[in-house]
Structure 1
Amino acid sequence: MKTIKTNLFLVSIGILIGFLSSCNNFLEVKPKGIIIPDKIEDYEGMLFSQQMTLAFPPELLYTTDDFFDLYDEHNRSTQANSYYWRPGLDPNELTPPVIWGPYYTLIYHCNVIINQVPGTSNGSDSQKQQLIAEAKVNRASAYFHLLTAFAKAYDPQTAASLPGVPLVSSTNVTDAIPQRATLQEVVDLILNDTESAVEHLPKVNKNGYRVTQKAALGLLTRVYLYLGNYEKSLIFADRTLANPHTLVDYNDYEDVYELPEEEVGPECVWMQGSSDYSVPLFMLYSEDLKSYYNSNDLRYFLFSSTNNNGIFYVSPAGRSNLGISYPEIYLSKAEALARAGKVSEALEIVNSLRKKRILKAAYTDLSAGNKEEALKIVLAERRRELAFKGPRWMDMKRLDRENRMPTVQRIDPSNGKVMATLAPGSKQYTFQIPARVQQFNRGIILNEE
């Protein structure tokens, strides 16, 4: 009974439900919940399922200082819990876990591909290697997002002793679920799987959601930046930027709906969407975020509109990309250069992007007199460019690690009441293991509150 109860960890996060809701006719669901695709094409279809392509949790946007809303202090929805940085994001153990659930569903998909593709009856070795490589990169990305939510910010001095998240490799839901691996063990898997996958990936794939070489390289750029390994981040940024690409010049557009769809646009490195189609559409700009823009910034002109609640985000037609874009890679490279003291090179990259974002008649190059000044410019530009794009919570967490995050508050504008505070170094930067997961895994290590 104990093993069966423990294995409800997977069931509780909706893995089987997710599979059943997304399966095509080729999927056979056996009584024990083991899913057996038949052909190489079937596994390829799994890579384009909603659970694989639309897994980004909107809660990782609600937590950021980019976002403002008017949640009542008694509201215990996952949205309000995220917004107010409450330790438990889910209201109770009956609620399917946000963030944790979608990403472990994705991980299960990936494990099916990784474990079962080698034994499929058709397909060439190179086809099989590609599908396995795509699954490994998708899984690595999922583990990375889980770490940003449920583990402390990475510090190489402590990562080997701090809990990360469970590393699940089995595709049999009757197997016992492992305890939380260390933060370092999860990071090692993310890096090893992604780096080893690159050589087996295509340069171009069937659509923007499918993994390519540039997607894996972009993920490595992001992960190494989060880890504080700026030399490695710079290496992978350069490798990503070696792929053919262009930056969109916002001066050429008068309306956001004229912009290219993000999935097929020239700035897309890896398309990842949210299951909530409205995210980040209609999300309100925080006062702090608004202070970063001026009237000549075309990002604010194109990507904002007004309703009775305030200034809200608008996006081009189609789904918003919450994955990786070339502007993010540019800014990661600029940050790595600034931290290395290469001030002029860092600012050259920032200005090459700003020329495409600032009204031509008002544009002037930015300059910096020293390393710290350059870094502040880069980080401010990153805030403007990547607002509502996905990486902000990751950025807040890594910047807090080095004491670069100010106190963030949620304030009721009607009366000035402070509804919640995220202080520097706060334990609220790490969310608690979901209540439903705790219910079926009584021995799981919990985070400090």
Structure 2
Amino acid sequence: MLQRETMPHLYQSDEAGHQIQFILLITITIKTMKYIMKSCAALLLLFSSCDGFLDEKPSLSLVVPSKLADFEALLNNDNQVFNISPAIGEIGSADYFTTVERWETYSTQLEREAYIWGDEVHANGNMPDWATPFQQIFYANVVLDGIAALNISSEEQAQAERLKGTALFFRANAYHNLMVLFCPFARFDDTSDKLGLPIRASSNIQDPITRASLQEVKDFIKKDLEEALDLVPETEPMKTLPSKLTVLSLLMRVHFMEADYSKALDYGLLAMEYSPELIDLTALPQSAANPFGIFNKEVVFYSHLNPYNYFNSPLTFVDENLLELYGDDDSRVGHFFIDRGTGGLNVKAFHTGRNLWFGGIGTNEIYLTVSECLARDGRLEEAAQILESLLENRIFDLEPVTFENSTEALDFILKERRKELLFRGIRWMDLRRLNEEGAGIILTRQLGENTITLSPNSPRYVFPLPPSEVERSGIEQNPR
């Protein structure tokens, strides 16, 4: 039994703190009717609201869930906790733009400031892109600590291992999502001392809060995933939960986004052994409202981006420079975009199959990542074959894909990566990675007569931590 002190701000935002016990309890109730009468009281105490965080110490005791079924229920809390991804990087990626009039009407300071890479992203005190991942980390730690304290019978061993692997995956995914927003970029071979994140390796709220080094955070993520790979099931019917393909895909992304192309290729090729499927968009009518059903066969791991107003506004338009990359024979134009007569093309369809922007892992990401890694390794014919396998499902009357040299191959693959993997938060990661390698990509926003730019490798590629977090815990703020 743990003592219920106040949950650290790192585990919970002010906004989430007032609602978390209701959301989680309702979700668990729906999913666990067989034993809800026994576990309801424990769960309510565990996730009761904490207004004061570090400075208030209520005297209530904390009862930890006591059965594997309780932990199963926590990890199945997909809609409100685990399967949500940060979105401010996508707002800042400049693949989309809005008018100055619409920008001024956004209800949150967060959206306005993220759009212009500003300093006051947290001016209104709410930061879901920081709070939600730390909620995920806390719940994952509750499961990991709880399972470690149980006496597991031989009949329960397989379930316990699966739940532990699932919790490790969720914790690693949350930390990676935080790292690409709130930490500076560093290549895998960068040995400089850079600021990382507070590492919460347990659910003990009394653990000290300090920022670990970026290398320590990276090692923590990789260790979780490598351990999870041995524990999660070979296949998983629910795409909100991880399988071996899911973990391999995230390991591929983690190494790829730090420019460790050799290890990313190793994991990507292992993922390809699972024969990840693609949707043939060329065979679907352009009039389809959304060619991607929920949990469609291109979804490896389902997650959606935090649903800010910016994303679904009819005055959020696709960048014209991006649109110019598509040819007349590209089926993605009709499936991805729509002209609603508001002054530009809007986003039409998402891999969520719903009106939510996709924030998970898709098979198309695997194909494009493996192709780029092969090209960087000089294996041009293989890189072309992988890319052609994707594009034959996207381009009408596709000509064979061939590359004369690595420069041509990378230029082609990177364009396809940008055209294919939009709407999901990946572009922000790619910008950080590519600019570090000398791409020199400059982002521009036009607000009325004001032109705002984001230069390559700018400190503004790292979002500031919530000021309330810095004030409460004393951790170091990111420079701007």
TM-score (norm. length: structure 2): 0.84
Return the offset for 1:13.
Answer: 5.2
Amino acid at match of 2:280: D
Amino acid at match of 1:386: L
Question: What's the counterpart of residue 87 of structure 2?
Answer: 58
Question: What's the counterpart of residue 96 of structure 1?
Answer: 126
Gap runs ≥5 in structure 2 = 30-39, 47-58
Q: Does 1:213 align with 2:241?
A: no
Q: Does 1:274 align with 2:302?
A: no
Return the offset for 1:439.
Answer: 2.3
Of residues 209-218 and 30-39 in structure 1, the stretch that sits farther from structure 2 once superposed is: 30-39
Question: What's the counterpart of residue 384 of structure 1?
Answer: 419
Question: What's the counterpart of residue 202 of structure 1?
Answer: 233
Return the offset for 1:298.
Answer: 0.9
Query: What CA deviation, in whole Å up to 9, does each residue of 1:49-107 have, x standing for no partner?
Result: 13433321232211112121224576771111111111342114xx1223111111111
Contact residue 28 and residue 37 of structure 1 kept, 8 A: no
Return the offset for 1:322.
Answer: 1.5
Question: What's the counterpart of residue 407 of structure 1?
Answer: 442
Q: Does 1:428 align with 2:460?
A: yes
Contact residue 13 and residue 96 of structure 1 kept, 8 A: yes
Residue 136 of structure 1: which of 130, 153, 168 is its match? 168
Contact residue 7 and residue 176 of structure 1 kept, 8 A: no
Amino acid at match of 2:242: V
Question: What's the counterpart of residue 476 of structure 2?
Answer: 445
Residue 395 of structure 2: which of 345, 350, 358 is its match? 358
**SS of aligned partner of 1:169:** coil
Question: What's the counterpart of residue 284 of structure 1?
Answer: 317
**SS of aligned partner of 2:84:** coil
Residues 120-199 of structure 1: pairs in structure 2 closer than 5 A:
120=150, 124-156=156-188, 158-159=190-191, 161-173=193-205, 175-199=206-230
Contact residue 51 and residue 102 of structure 1 kept, 8 A: no
Q: Does 1:341 align with 2:372?
A: no
**SS of aligned partner of 1:380:** helix
Q: Distance in 1 between matches of 2:430 and 2:263?
A: 17
Contact residue 209 and residue 475 of structure 2 kept, 8 A: no
Amino acid at match of 2:428: W
Amino acid at match of 1:137: F
Gap runs ≥5 in structure 1 = none
Question: What's the counterpart of residue 52 of structure 2?
Answer: none
Amino acid at match of 2:458: S
Q: Distance in 1 between matches of 2:7 and 2:74?
A: 26
TM-score (norm. length: structure 1): 0.90
Work out which structure has the larger RCO, using CA pairs closer than 8 Å and 6 or more positions apart in sequence. Answer: 1
Identity rate, percent: 25
Of residues 10-19 and 345-354 in structure 1, the stretch that sits farther from structure 2 once superposed is: 10-19
Contact residue 357 and residue 423 of structure 2 kept, 8 A: no
**SS of aligned partner of 1:409:** strand
Q: Distance in 1 between matches of 2:445 and 2:303?
A: 28
Query: What CA deviation, in whole Å up to 9, does each residue of 1:355-384 have, x standing for no partner?
Result: 110123xx2234332111111111110000
Distance 1:130 1:15, change over 3 A: farther
Return the offset for 1:311.
Answer: 0.6
Question: What's the counterpart of residue 22 of structure 1?
Answer: 24
Query: What CA deviation, in whole Å up to 9, does each residue of 1:307-340 have, x standing for no partner?
Result: 3142111115435532111110011001101111
Q: Distance in 1 between matches of 2:157 and 2:201?
A: 22
Contact residue 323 and residue 389 of structure 1 kept, 8 A: yes
Return the offset for 1:394.
Answer: 0.7
Q: Does 1:314 align with 2:348?
A: yes
Question: What's the counterpart of residue 396 of structure 1?
Answer: 431
Distance 1:256 1:159, change over 3 A: farther
Question: What's the counterpart of residue 109 of structure 1?
Answer: 139
Q: Distance in 1 between matches of 2:348 and 2:174?
A: 26
Q: Does 1:231 align with 2:259?
A: no
Return the offset for 1:157.
Answer: 5.0
Of residues 417-426 and 118-127 in structure 1, the stretch that sits farther from structure 2 once superposed is: 118-127
Contact residue 444 and residue 454 of structure 2 kept, 8 A: yes
Amino acid at match of 1:216: V
